[in-house]
Homo-oligomer: A and B are copies of this chain.
Amino acid sequence: MITGKNYIGNVLASTGKVTFKTFNPKTNKENNLVFTEVSAIEIEQATALATEAFKVYKKLSGTKKSEFLNEIANQIEALGTTLLNMYCSESGLSKERAISERERTIFQLRSFANLVKEGSWVEATIDTANPIRIPIPKPDLRKMLVPLGPILVFGASNFPLAYSTAGGDTAAALAAGCPVIVKSHPMHAGTGELVAYAVIKAAEITGMPNGVFSNLNSGGIEVGTVLVKHPAIKAVGFTGSINGGRSLYNLAAQRPEPIPVFAEMGSVNPVILLPKAVKKKGVYWAKTFANSITLGAGQFCTNPGLILGIKGEDLTKFIKILSDEILKIEPTCMLHPSILNSFEEKTSRIAQQVGVEETVFYKKKTSKNYGRQAIATVDGTTFLANTNLHKEVFGPFSMVVQCKSVEQLEIIISKLEGQLTGTVLEEKELENYTEIVSALQNRVGRIIFNGVPTGVEVCNAMVHGGPYPASTDSRFTAVGVNSIKRWVRPFCYQNWPDIFLPNELKNKNPLGISRLVDGKQTSKKINKI
């Protein structure tokens, strides 16, 4: 089933000369399969096909698109253990994680299928005409959301299924009516090809236009660069490092026609440990956070990398327990030797900074490529003065900052870069810290009460995004069905004949969707002629 080739629309191709292999971090060996990097000609073919496919795909009904999305989910399920085994061999992640991530991927696809089948998501808005208005007649205006065009999606290293080939970005873009070109992540190109096979099969079964989906292999950054600059591409989805995301953002902003880049990047996810909470529940929170910090070898974008408390006996005790607890946890395999190296480099660089104490470092021998957890501590003044300490360390690491006062805590929060999440741990004391909460709100996309930031629910109310550099555009979420809004724009018809309007905007409301008609939300038809 695996060929190592690229899907240029529905056709497998490998005219390129450059090849690469994936790596199994658990066995510490290269996998056997050879992948061929997409060639310049194939890139031109894929983008041309996507542009042609858009002409047809943008007009398909929500029902047709939902059939496609549901069939992708079916085809991913049909891959069975082949997919799970490939996933594990290319990520070092466990089979349980593979299963749960596959379920999440399928849930996302089916959620978007339901959304577009129901149809109200297009925000149909109608202001009917008033031909006798003074001084000039009021025209009939009807607005709905329409797709942007071909979207480029970069697979994420840490979510080979849920945020890669047919993950959240792809599902949202296909649901919106946009063809998708995936730049497959080189660490899990085999998983990518299997999922691409499922997507292409679903496209054929449900009669989608050729070019609605392509899957391109590449081991380096050149292919991504060419694609982001390509005039056929109308927006970009990316999940990964700040350096990677910012590079793509810069390229997109420098195009003759700039395009939106939705990059979900770094975050240290600050945790505010309020005085009573640390005093009364320090043990509980230390245990809870030892688990959250090491979950999945710390390879989650919502990993709690920064814990802020007020210096004193209670915090010292908390650090001691956190240290003890974290040493009890068995390290697990990281995604790739390069990710492990980067983790070890960054933790040791942080430990070398003046004023930083490496409080815990798991030193027992582990298998190759296992991420050994670490905790560092630093005082508030040192932290404030050294922004190197504000940067994300991707992996099982967290830094505890001992602030000298609540005032310093507030200043530190206000100086943090943008974050996906902020957490407040309290014990009936929140009302005394409204300024702290207010400052934290300005820096994050989601705020958590007495809990852990890891675990991102896929639902309507989720916000996965935040001020830069958590994401390049805080006005959108990357998780949940609302993420479809990234790939659409409002479009307005003025005095357009009813018969030529899309169904969403016709007087009779044949889809029965909820619409804003003359300022009132309604599913009723319009009786005007």
Interface residues, chain A, with chain B CB atoms under 8 Å away? 55, 59, 125-127, 136, 138-139, 141-143, 146, 148-149, 249-250, 253-254, 257-258, 260, 417-418, 430-431, 437-438, 441-442, 445-451, 455, 457, 459-463, 465, 467-469, 472-477, 482, 485-486, 488-497, 500, 514, 516, 519, 521
Given contacts A260-B473, A460-B516, contact A492 B141 (CB under 8 A): no
Do residues A521 and B516 form an inter-chain contact, with CB atoms below 8 A?
no
The CA of A496 and the CA of B442, in the complex, are separated in Å by 16
A521 / chain B contacts, CB cutoff of 8 Å: 514, 521
Which residues of B sit under 8 angstroms from A418, Cβ to Cβ? 257
* Beta-carbon contact of B457 and A138 below 8 Å: yes
A463 touches B430 (CB 8 A): no
Contact residues in B for A488 (Cβ distance below 8 Å):
475
Q: How many Å from the CB of A416 to the closest CB on chain B?
A: 12
The minimal Cβ–Cβ distance linking A438 to chain B, given in whole angstroms, is: 6
Q: CB distance B258 to A249 under 8 Å?
A: yes
CB A266 to nearest CB in B, in angstroms, measures: 13
B-chain residues with CB within 8 Å of residue A254 when the two chains form the complex: 250, 253
Tell me, in angstroms, the Cα distance from A136 to B451 when the chains sit together: 13
**Chain B contacts of A497 at CB under 8 A?**
430, 449
Residue numbers in B under 8 Å from A467 (CB-CB): 257, 489
Docked-complex contact B449 and A494, CB < 8 angstroms: yes
Knowing A253-B249, A468-B257, the reply to whether A482 touches B490 (Cβ < 8 A) is: yes
Do the beta carbons of A475 and B260 come within 8 Å of each other? yes
Nearest CB on B from A258, distance (A): 6
When the two chains form their complex, are residues B455 and A149 in contact, meaning their CB atoms are under 8 A apart?
A: no
Q: Is B127 within 8 A of A451, CB to CB?
A: no
- Assess the A477–B493 pair: CB atoms within 8 A: no
Q: Which of B127, B449, B459, B477 contacts A459 (CB 8 A)?
A: B127
Which residues from chain B contact A496 at a C-beta distance below 8 Å? 447, 449
Which residues from B are CB-within-8-Å of A475? 148, 260, 485-486, 488-490
Chain B min CB distance to A88 (Å): 20
Inter-chain contacts of A417 with B (CB < 8 A)? 257
A462-B249 contact in complex given A418-B257, A474-B148, A521-B521, C-beta closer than 8 Å:
no
Interchain CB contact under 8 A, A141 and B489: no
* A492: contacting residue among B142, B446, B500, CB under 8 A: B446
How far, in whole Å, are A142 and B450 apart by their CA atoms in the complex? Answer: 15
Residues from chain B with Cβ under 8 Å of A455 in the complex: 136, 139
Pairs A–B under 8 Å by Cβ, sample size 12: A127-B460, A139-B457, A141-B461, A141-B462, A143-B462, A249-B253, A430-B497, A430-B500, A437-B500, A446-B492, A451-B494, A465-B489
| Cβ–Cβ < 8 Å partners of A449 in chain B | 493-497
Q: A519 and B460 in contact (CB under 8 A), knowing A258-B468, A490-B465, A491-B446?
A: yes
